[in-house]
Amino acid sequence: MAVQEAWTFSDYIMLVVSAVLINNILLIRFLGNCPFLGVSKRMDTAIGMAVAVVFVLSCSGPLTWLVQRFLLEPFKVAYIQTLAFILVIACFVQLVETVIKKVSPPLYRSLGIFLPLITTNCAIFGACILNIREKYDFLQSLIFSFASALGFGLALVIFAGIRERFPFARIPKNFQDTSIGLITAGLIGMSFFAFAGLAK
Amino acid sequence: MAQKKSWLKEFTKGLWDEIPPFRFVLGLCPTLACSTAVTDGFGMGLCLTFVVTGANIFISFLRKIIPDEVRIACFIVIIATFVIIVELATQAYFYPLYLSLGIFIPLIVVNCIVLGRAEAFASKNSISLSIADGLGMGLGFTMSLTTLAIFREVLGKGSFAGHFIMWQGFEPFALLQKPPGAFFCLGLMLGIMNLFGKK
Protein backbone atom coordinates (compact mmCIF):
# COMPACT_ATOMS: atom_id res chain seq x y z
CA MET A 1 0.00 0.00 0.00
CA ALA A 2 1.65 3.20 -1.10
CA VAL A 3 1.25 6.12 1.23
CA GLN A 4 0.37 8.65 -1.43
CA GLU A 5 -2.41 6.66 -3.06
CA ALA A 6 -5.91 7.34 -1.86
CA TRP A 7 -7.07 4.63 0.48
CA THR A 8 -10.09 2.64 -0.57
CA PHE A 9 -12.67 1.36 1.85
CA SER A 10 -11.17 -2.12 1.86
CA ASP A 11 -7.81 -0.67 2.87
CA TYR A 12 -9.43 0.79 5.96
CA ILE A 13 -11.07 -2.54 6.76
CA MET A 14 -7.70 -4.20 6.34
CA LEU A 15 -6.16 -1.65 8.70
CA VAL A 16 -8.73 -2.51 11.36
CA VAL A 17 -8.36 -6.26 10.91
CA SER A 18 -4.60 -5.94 11.00
CA ALA A 19 -4.58 -3.82 14.15
CA VAL A 20 -7.11 -5.93 16.04
CA LEU A 21 -6.09 -9.43 15.03
CA ILE A 22 -2.94 -9.79 12.98
CA ASN A 23 -0.66 -7.32 14.70
CA ASN A 24 -2.46 -7.37 18.02
CA ILE A 25 -0.91 -4.63 20.08
CA LEU A 26 -0.64 -6.77 23.19
CA LEU A 27 0.33 -10.19 21.97
CA ILE A 28 2.29 -9.55 18.80
CA ARG A 29 3.63 -6.03 19.21
CA PHE A 30 4.21 -6.41 22.96
CA LEU A 31 2.81 -3.10 24.08
CA GLY A 32 0.97 -2.66 27.34
CA ASN A 33 2.00 -5.89 29.01
CA CYS A 34 2.20 -4.49 32.55
CA PRO A 35 -1.53 -3.74 32.86
CA PHE A 36 -2.17 -6.91 30.89
CA LEU A 37 -0.79 -8.98 33.75
CA GLY A 38 -1.71 -6.49 36.44
CA VAL A 39 -5.46 -6.09 36.02
CA SER A 40 -6.39 -9.41 34.45
CA LYS A 41 -7.03 -11.29 37.66
CA ARG A 42 -10.70 -10.41 37.63
CA MET A 43 -13.07 -9.98 34.74
CA ASP A 44 -14.65 -6.72 35.90
CA THR A 45 -11.34 -4.92 36.34
CA ALA A 46 -10.21 -6.22 32.96
CA ILE A 47 -13.32 -4.83 31.30
CA GLY A 48 -12.88 -1.51 33.10
CA MET A 49 -9.31 -1.25 31.92
CA ALA A 50 -10.26 -2.22 28.38
CA VAL A 51 -12.95 0.47 28.20
CA ALA A 52 -10.62 3.09 29.64
CA VAL A 53 -7.91 2.20 27.11
CA VAL A 54 -10.33 2.28 24.17
CA PHE A 55 -11.54 5.72 25.20
CA VAL A 56 -8.17 7.29 26.01
CA LEU A 57 -6.33 5.81 23.05
CA SER A 58 -8.98 6.77 20.47
CA CYS A 59 -8.71 10.35 21.68
CA SER A 60 -5.01 10.67 22.36
CA GLY A 61 -3.97 9.00 19.10
CA PRO A 62 -5.45 11.72 16.88
CA LEU A 63 -4.49 14.35 19.46
CA THR A 64 -0.81 13.48 19.35
CA TRP A 65 -1.04 13.26 15.57
CA LEU A 66 -2.24 16.87 15.52
CA VAL A 67 0.53 17.91 17.90
CA GLN A 68 3.12 16.25 15.69
CA ARG A 69 1.73 17.72 12.47
CA PHE A 70 0.95 21.26 13.57
CA LEU A 71 3.36 21.93 16.42
CA LEU A 72 6.46 19.76 16.26
CA GLU A 73 6.97 19.66 12.49
CA PRO A 74 6.42 23.36 11.64
CA PHE A 75 8.76 24.40 14.45
CA LYS A 76 11.30 21.69 13.54
CA VAL A 77 11.43 20.22 17.01
CA ALA A 78 10.44 16.67 16.11
CA TYR A 79 13.23 15.38 18.34
CA ILE A 80 11.26 16.26 21.46
CA GLN A 81 8.44 14.01 20.23
CA THR A 82 8.86 11.65 23.19
CA LEU A 83 8.58 14.43 25.75
CA ALA A 84 5.73 16.20 23.96
CA PHE A 85 3.66 13.05 23.51
CA ILE A 86 3.97 11.86 27.07
CA LEU A 87 2.97 15.30 28.32
CA VAL A 88 -0.01 15.46 25.99
CA ILE A 89 -1.14 12.02 27.12
CA ALA A 90 -0.61 12.80 30.80
CA CYS A 91 -2.51 16.09 30.55
CA PHE A 92 -5.30 14.47 28.58
CA VAL A 93 -5.69 11.68 31.10
CA GLN A 94 -5.73 14.20 33.94
CA LEU A 95 -8.37 16.24 32.12
CA VAL A 96 -10.55 13.22 31.49
CA GLU A 97 -10.26 12.21 35.10
CA THR A 98 -11.33 15.63 36.34
CA VAL A 99 -14.22 15.85 33.88
CA ILE A 100 -15.54 12.37 34.63
CA LYS A 101 -15.29 12.99 38.35
CA LYS A 102 -17.43 16.11 37.97
CA VAL A 103 -19.91 14.91 35.37
CA SER A 104 -20.49 11.29 36.22
CA PRO A 105 -19.45 10.03 39.68
CA PRO A 106 -20.67 6.45 39.03
CA LEU A 107 -18.53 6.21 35.92
CA TYR A 108 -15.65 7.69 37.86
CA ARG A 109 -15.99 5.04 40.53
CA SER A 110 -15.77 2.26 38.00
CA LEU A 111 -13.13 3.73 35.68
CA GLY A 112 -11.35 6.18 37.97
CA ILE A 113 -8.68 3.90 39.31
CA PHE A 114 -7.59 2.87 35.84
CA LEU A 115 -7.06 6.34 34.51
CA PRO A 116 -3.83 7.21 36.36
CA LEU A 117 -2.44 3.83 35.35
CA ILE A 118 -3.06 4.64 31.73
CA THR A 119 -0.45 7.38 31.57
CA THR A 120 2.27 4.78 31.94
CA ASN A 121 0.56 2.25 29.71
CA CYS A 122 2.90 1.66 26.82
CA ALA A 123 0.03 0.63 24.57
CA ILE A 124 -1.20 4.24 24.49
CA PHE A 125 2.18 5.83 23.99
CA GLY A 126 3.32 3.11 21.59
CA ALA A 127 0.27 3.39 19.36
CA CYS A 128 0.69 7.19 19.22
CA ILE A 129 4.29 6.77 18.08
CA LEU A 130 3.33 4.05 15.60
CA ASN A 131 0.84 6.45 14.04
CA ILE A 132 3.68 8.79 13.23
CA ARG A 133 6.22 6.13 12.22
CA GLU A 134 3.78 4.43 9.86
CA LYS A 135 3.06 7.85 8.32
CA TYR A 136 -0.69 7.57 8.76
CA ASP A 137 -2.88 10.55 7.91
CA PHE A 138 -5.43 11.89 10.36
CA LEU A 139 -8.28 9.51 9.54
CA GLN A 140 -5.97 6.52 9.39
CA SER A 141 -4.41 7.35 12.73
CA LEU A 142 -7.87 7.74 14.25
CA ILE A 143 -8.91 4.33 12.94
CA PHE A 144 -5.61 2.71 13.84
CA SER A 145 -5.76 4.04 17.41
CA PHE A 146 -9.30 2.85 17.88
CA ALA A 147 -8.62 -0.57 16.37
CA SER A 148 -5.44 -1.06 18.39
CA ALA A 149 -7.33 -0.27 21.55
CA LEU A 150 -10.01 -2.76 20.55
CA GLY A 151 -7.32 -5.36 20.02
CA PHE A 152 -5.94 -4.56 23.45
CA GLY A 153 -9.37 -4.92 25.02
CA LEU A 154 -10.05 -8.16 23.18
CA ALA A 155 -6.82 -9.80 24.28
CA LEU A 156 -7.20 -8.51 27.83
CA VAL A 157 -10.75 -9.82 28.21
CA ILE A 158 -9.90 -13.22 26.72
CA PHE A 159 -6.92 -13.48 29.03
CA ALA A 160 -8.90 -12.44 32.10
CA GLY A 161 -11.51 -15.03 31.25
CA ILE A 162 -8.89 -17.74 31.21
CA ARG A 163 -7.10 -16.41 34.25
CA GLU A 164 -10.23 -16.51 36.36
CA ARG A 165 -10.11 -20.27 35.99
CA PHE A 166 -6.56 -20.59 37.32
CA PRO A 167 -7.61 -21.26 40.91
CA PHE A 168 -9.38 -24.41 39.77
CA ALA A 169 -6.37 -25.78 37.93
CA ARG A 170 -3.58 -27.74 39.53
CA ILE A 171 -0.55 -25.70 38.64
CA PRO A 172 2.94 -26.61 39.94
CA LYS A 173 3.81 -24.36 42.85
CA ASN A 174 6.70 -22.60 41.16
CA PHE A 175 4.71 -21.79 38.08
CA GLN A 176 1.74 -20.22 39.80
CA ASP A 177 0.42 -16.78 39.01
CA THR A 178 2.62 -14.72 36.71
CA SER A 179 4.63 -17.58 35.32
CA ILE A 180 1.66 -19.60 34.11
CA GLY A 181 0.04 -16.31 33.08
CA LEU A 182 2.85 -15.62 30.65
CA ILE A 183 2.69 -19.12 29.22
CA THR A 184 -1.06 -18.74 28.76
CA ALA A 185 -0.46 -15.42 27.03
CA GLY A 186 1.91 -17.23 24.69
CA LEU A 187 -0.78 -19.78 23.86
CA ILE A 188 -3.30 -17.02 23.14
CA GLY A 189 -0.65 -15.33 21.03
CA MET A 190 -0.24 -18.51 19.02
CA SER A 191 -3.93 -18.63 18.31
CA PHE A 192 -3.76 -15.02 17.13
CA PHE A 193 -1.00 -16.10 14.78
CA ALA A 194 -3.56 -17.99 12.77
CA PHE A 195 -5.01 -14.67 11.64
CA ALA A 196 -1.78 -13.82 9.84
CA GLY A 197 -3.20 -15.69 6.86
CA LEU A 198 -5.79 -12.94 6.45
CA ALA A 199 -3.16 -10.48 5.33
CA LYS A 200 -2.24 -10.21 1.70
CA MET B 1 15.73 6.30 58.54
CA ALA B 2 16.98 4.32 61.44
CA GLN B 3 19.21 1.93 59.62
CA LYS B 4 22.05 3.16 57.54
CA LYS B 5 21.88 1.88 54.01
CA SER B 6 25.04 0.71 52.41
CA TRP B 7 26.05 1.61 48.90
CA LEU B 8 26.97 -1.94 48.02
CA LYS B 9 23.73 -3.36 49.29
CA GLU B 10 21.62 -1.03 47.16
CA PHE B 11 23.69 -1.98 44.16
CA THR B 12 23.56 -5.74 44.59
CA LYS B 13 19.87 -5.99 45.40
CA GLY B 14 19.08 -5.10 41.77
CA LEU B 15 21.25 -7.97 40.60
CA TRP B 16 19.48 -10.76 42.43
CA ASP B 17 17.11 -10.02 45.31
CA GLU B 18 14.95 -7.60 43.39
CA ILE B 19 16.07 -8.31 39.86
CA PRO B 20 13.70 -6.82 37.32
CA PRO B 21 11.63 -8.09 35.58
CA PHE B 22 11.59 -11.38 37.49
CA ARG B 23 11.03 -10.32 41.07
CA PHE B 24 8.77 -7.46 40.13
CA VAL B 25 6.81 -8.01 37.00
CA LEU B 26 7.54 -4.58 35.62
CA GLY B 27 8.86 -3.43 32.28
CA LEU B 28 7.70 -6.51 30.44
CA CYS B 29 7.20 -4.97 27.03
CA PRO B 30 10.88 -4.33 26.20
CA THR B 31 11.79 -7.63 27.85
CA LEU B 32 9.54 -9.54 25.52
CA ALA B 33 10.12 -7.50 22.41
CA CYS B 34 13.87 -6.87 22.53
CA SER B 35 15.03 -10.38 23.27
CA THR B 36 15.07 -11.98 19.84
CA ALA B 37 18.80 -11.35 19.46
CA VAL B 38 21.54 -11.09 22.07
CA THR B 39 22.78 -7.75 20.77
CA ASP B 40 19.28 -6.27 20.95
CA GLY B 41 18.74 -7.45 24.51
CA PHE B 42 22.12 -6.21 25.68
CA GLY B 43 21.70 -2.86 23.91
CA MET B 44 18.24 -2.35 25.32
CA GLY B 45 19.53 -3.17 28.79
CA LEU B 46 22.32 -0.62 28.54
CA CYS B 47 19.94 2.07 27.24
CA LEU B 48 17.67 1.44 30.20
CA THR B 49 20.62 1.45 32.62
CA PHE B 50 21.64 4.87 31.37
CA VAL B 51 18.13 6.27 31.65
CA VAL B 52 17.38 4.85 35.08
CA THR B 53 20.72 5.96 36.52
CA GLY B 54 20.53 9.43 34.99
CA ALA B 55 16.94 9.93 36.07
CA ASN B 56 17.75 8.68 39.57
CA ILE B 57 20.61 11.18 39.92
CA PHE B 58 18.47 14.13 38.87
CA ILE B 59 15.40 13.15 40.81
CA SER B 60 17.43 12.52 43.94
CA PHE B 61 19.17 15.87 43.44
CA LEU B 62 15.85 17.70 43.08
CA ARG B 63 13.89 15.66 45.58
CA LYS B 64 13.58 18.51 48.08
CA ILE B 65 12.49 21.02 45.43
CA ILE B 66 9.88 18.99 43.53
CA PRO B 67 6.45 19.60 45.05
CA ASP B 68 4.70 16.43 46.11
CA GLU B 69 1.48 17.02 44.14
CA VAL B 70 3.11 17.24 40.73
CA ARG B 71 5.98 14.86 41.33
CA ILE B 72 4.91 12.26 38.76
CA ALA B 73 4.79 14.90 36.03
CA CYS B 74 8.24 16.17 37.06
CA PHE B 75 9.65 12.65 37.07
CA ILE B 76 8.27 11.97 33.63
CA VAL B 77 9.79 15.14 32.22
CA ILE B 78 13.21 14.22 33.66
CA ILE B 79 12.94 10.65 32.39
CA ALA B 80 11.79 11.81 28.95
CA THR B 81 14.83 14.06 28.71
CA PHE B 82 17.16 11.14 29.27
CA VAL B 83 15.22 9.01 26.82
CA ILE B 84 15.65 11.67 24.16
CA ILE B 85 19.40 11.67 24.84
CA VAL B 86 19.49 7.90 24.37
CA GLU B 87 17.34 8.12 21.27
CA LEU B 88 19.56 10.68 19.57
CA ALA B 89 22.78 8.98 20.69
CA THR B 90 21.79 5.55 19.39
CA GLN B 91 20.59 7.13 16.16
CA ALA B 92 23.95 8.82 15.70
CA TYR B 93 26.38 6.13 16.85
CA PHE B 94 24.58 2.78 16.90
CA TYR B 95 22.26 3.02 13.94
CA PRO B 96 21.66 -0.76 13.46
CA LEU B 97 20.67 -1.01 17.12
CA TYR B 98 18.41 2.02 16.72
CA LEU B 99 16.67 0.31 13.79
CA SER B 100 16.23 -3.05 15.49
CA LEU B 101 14.97 -1.63 18.79
CA GLY B 102 12.76 0.80 16.90
CA ILE B 103 9.78 2.01 18.83
CA PHE B 104 11.06 0.55 22.10
CA ILE B 105 13.66 3.26 22.64
CA PRO B 106 11.08 6.06 23.04
CA LEU B 107 9.01 3.59 25.02
CA ILE B 108 11.60 3.55 27.81
CA VAL B 109 9.81 6.68 28.97
CA VAL B 110 6.77 4.69 30.03
CA ASN B 111 8.79 1.78 31.36
CA CYS B 112 7.50 1.00 34.81
CA ILE B 113 10.97 0.15 36.12
CA VAL B 114 12.27 3.69 35.58
CA LEU B 115 9.27 5.43 37.06
CA GLY B 116 9.09 2.83 39.79
CA ARG B 117 12.67 3.46 40.91
CA ALA B 118 12.12 7.21 40.76
CA GLU B 119 9.03 7.01 42.90
CA ALA B 120 10.12 4.28 45.30
CA PHE B 121 13.78 5.07 45.71
CA ALA B 122 15.33 8.19 44.20
CA SER B 123 12.71 10.56 45.59
CA LYS B 124 13.55 9.45 49.12
CA ASN B 125 17.29 8.75 49.15
CA SER B 126 20.61 10.52 48.69
CA ILE B 127 22.33 10.87 45.35
CA SER B 128 25.04 8.26 45.90
CA LEU B 129 22.52 5.65 47.02
CA SER B 130 20.30 6.50 44.05
CA ILE B 131 23.20 6.01 41.65
CA ALA B 132 23.91 2.61 43.17
CA ASP B 133 20.24 1.69 42.98
CA GLY B 134 19.92 2.83 39.36
CA LEU B 135 23.06 1.03 38.24
CA GLY B 136 22.05 -2.14 40.07
CA MET B 137 18.54 -2.17 38.66
CA GLY B 138 19.74 -1.32 35.17
CA LEU B 139 22.42 -4.00 35.15
CA GLY B 140 20.04 -6.53 36.64
CA PHE B 141 17.61 -5.76 33.84
CA THR B 142 20.43 -6.07 31.29
CA MET B 143 21.37 -9.42 32.75
CA SER B 144 17.90 -10.88 32.62
CA LEU B 145 17.25 -9.50 29.14
CA THR B 146 20.53 -10.90 27.85
CA THR B 147 19.87 -14.30 29.41
CA LEU B 148 16.45 -14.43 27.83
CA ALA B 149 17.89 -13.30 24.51
CA ILE B 150 20.65 -15.94 24.61
CA PHE B 151 18.03 -18.57 25.20
CA ARG B 152 15.86 -17.34 22.37
CA GLU B 153 18.60 -16.68 19.87
CA VAL B 154 20.66 -19.83 20.41
CA LEU B 155 17.69 -22.18 20.36
CA GLY B 156 15.52 -20.19 17.98
CA LYS B 157 18.11 -19.29 15.36
CA GLY B 158 21.14 -21.36 16.31
CA SER B 159 23.33 -18.29 16.52
CA PHE B 160 24.91 -16.14 19.21
CA ALA B 161 25.12 -12.41 18.55
CA GLY B 162 24.76 -13.11 14.83
CA HIS B 163 27.34 -15.94 14.58
CA PHE B 164 26.07 -19.42 13.92
CA ILE B 165 27.34 -21.64 16.73
CA MET B 166 25.26 -24.79 16.67
CA TRP B 167 26.28 -28.02 14.95
CA GLN B 168 25.63 -28.79 11.29
CA GLY B 169 22.06 -29.78 10.56
CA PHE B 170 20.74 -28.15 13.72
CA GLU B 171 17.05 -27.51 13.33
CA PRO B 172 16.24 -24.10 14.88
CA PHE B 173 13.28 -24.00 17.20
CA ALA B 174 11.68 -21.19 15.23
CA LEU B 175 8.74 -20.62 17.56
CA LEU B 176 11.09 -19.06 20.10
CA GLN B 177 11.85 -16.24 17.68
CA LYS B 178 8.15 -15.50 17.26
CA PRO B 179 6.18 -13.34 19.73
CA PRO B 180 4.45 -16.27 21.52
CA GLY B 181 7.88 -17.80 22.08
CA ALA B 182 8.84 -14.77 24.12
CA PHE B 183 5.93 -15.34 26.47
CA PHE B 184 6.77 -19.05 26.82
CA CYS B 185 10.42 -18.37 27.50
CA LEU B 186 9.79 -15.67 30.06
CA GLY B 187 7.11 -17.74 31.77
CA LEU B 188 9.40 -20.75 32.00
CA MET B 189 12.33 -18.67 33.24
CA LEU B 190 10.14 -17.10 35.88
CA GLY B 191 9.06 -20.54 37.04
CA ILE B 192 12.66 -21.72 37.18
CA MET B 193 13.68 -18.56 39.05
CA ASN B 194 11.00 -19.36 41.63
CA LEU B 195 12.71 -22.69 42.28
CA PHE B 196 15.73 -20.82 43.60
CA GLY B 197 14.71 -18.95 46.66
CA LYS B 198 11.36 -17.30 46.83
CA LYS B 199 11.12 -14.16 48.87
Q: Is residue A105 part of a domain?
A: yes
Boundaries of every domain in chain B: 2-198
ipTM tops 0.90:
no
Q: What is the pLDDT along chain B (199 residues), one digit of tens a residue?
A: 434 567 788 788 777 777 777 777 777 888 888 888 899 899 999 999 999 999 999 999 998 888 887 888 888 889 999 999 999 999 999 999 999 888 889 888 888 888 888 888 888 888 888 999 999 999 999 998 999 999 888 888 888 877 777 777 777 787 888 888 888 888 888 888 888 765 4
Residue in A178, A187, A193, A195 to test binding to B, most B beta-carbons within 10 Å = A178
Q: Is residue A196 part of a domain?
A: no
Question: Using one digit for the tens of pLDDT, what is the confidence trace for A106-130?
Answer: 878 877 677 777 877 888 888 999 9
Q: Is the CB of B91 inside 8 Å of chain A's CB atoms?
A: no
Domain limits for position A46? 27-169
Q: What is the pTM of this model?
A: 0.85
How many structural domains compose chain A? 1
Residues of B in contact with A118 (CB under 8 A): none
Q: Is the CB of A100 inside 8 Å of chain B's CB atoms?
A: no
Q: Is residue A182 part of a domain?
A: no
Nearest CB to A120: which of B106, B112, B178?
A: B112
Q: pLDDT under 50 in chain A at which residues?
A: 1-2
Residues of B in contact with A133 (CB under 8 A): 102-103
Q: Is residue A176 part of a domain?
A: no
What sign has the CA pseudo-torsion A155, A157, A162, A167? positive
